[in-house]
Amino acid sequence: MARYRAMAATFLLAVVSAAVLAAAGPAQAGPPSIVTPVTLSDLDTLIAQTDRGVLVAMASWCGPCKAELPHLVKLHRHYQGKGLALYGVSVDFAGASAMQPMVNKFGVEFPVYWVGEPGVEHYGLNPIPMLVFIQNGQVVDRLQGAHNEEELQALFDTFLAPPLP
């Protein structure tokens, strides 16, 4: 009987330890974002309310966008809670559903919006990929072309740095 209790206690200890380790493990990625169709007015409002953010103009058919996106996903996780908001903007003319498979594939967690051709023209989101930097509700810079992770991190760090006196 004592042997049975010792085995049961050991098993219980193992189960509790496994549960504690699982709870203390690294944070798991959340579900991918849903590509949301928005109007120009919706996107204007989002920009006006953004203190420091980056619009990431991309398309499902764009090779350089696909190369850059994993870096943006990783950096989004790094900068979460540090004052930088990332927003994807799909420029796929086929609609929001054209971008969803790419968002799913790369596990994009930041919001992704689709504004269609009027949005591309209104915001000058061509050529892609393009990063549009927003500060205090105003577009302050645009960068065309794909960037590697180190370049993106340097850009974001500089963007978040306080201005020199």
Residue 132 lies in a domain: yes
User: Of 36-45, 64-73, 154-163, which has the strongest mean pLDDT?
Assistant: 64-73
What's the CATH code of the domain at 39? 3.40.30.10
- Is 24 a residue whose pLDDT tops 80? no
pLDDT over 70, % of the chain: 81
Give 32's pLDDT tier (boundaries 50, 70, 90).
confident
Residue 133 lies in a domain: yes
Residue 25 lies in a domain: no
DSSP secondary structure, the chain, as one string? -HHHHHHHHHHHHHHHHHHHHHHHSPPPP-PPPPEEE--HHHHHHHHHT-SEEEEEEE-TT-HHHHHHHHHHHHHHHHHTTTT-EEEEEE--TT-HHHHHHHHHHHT--S-EEE-HHHHHHHHT--SSSEEEEEETTEEEEEEES---HHHHHHHHHHHHSPPP-
Residue 76 lies in a domain: yes
The model's pTM: 0.78
Q: 57 is in which domain, residue-wise?
A: 30-160
Residue 6 lies in a domain: no
Instruction: Please count the structural domains in the chain.
Output: 1
Q: What is the pLDDT of residue 118?
A: 85
Averaged over 91-116, what is the pLDDT? 94
Residue 131 lies in a domain: yes
Q: What is the pLDDT of residue 89?
A: 96
- Is 4 a residue whose pLDDT tops 70? no
- Is 110 a residue whose pLDDT tops 60? yes
Q: What is the pLDDT of residue 17?
A: 33
Give 30's pLDDT tier (boundaries 50, 70, 90).
low
Residue 13 lies in a domain: no
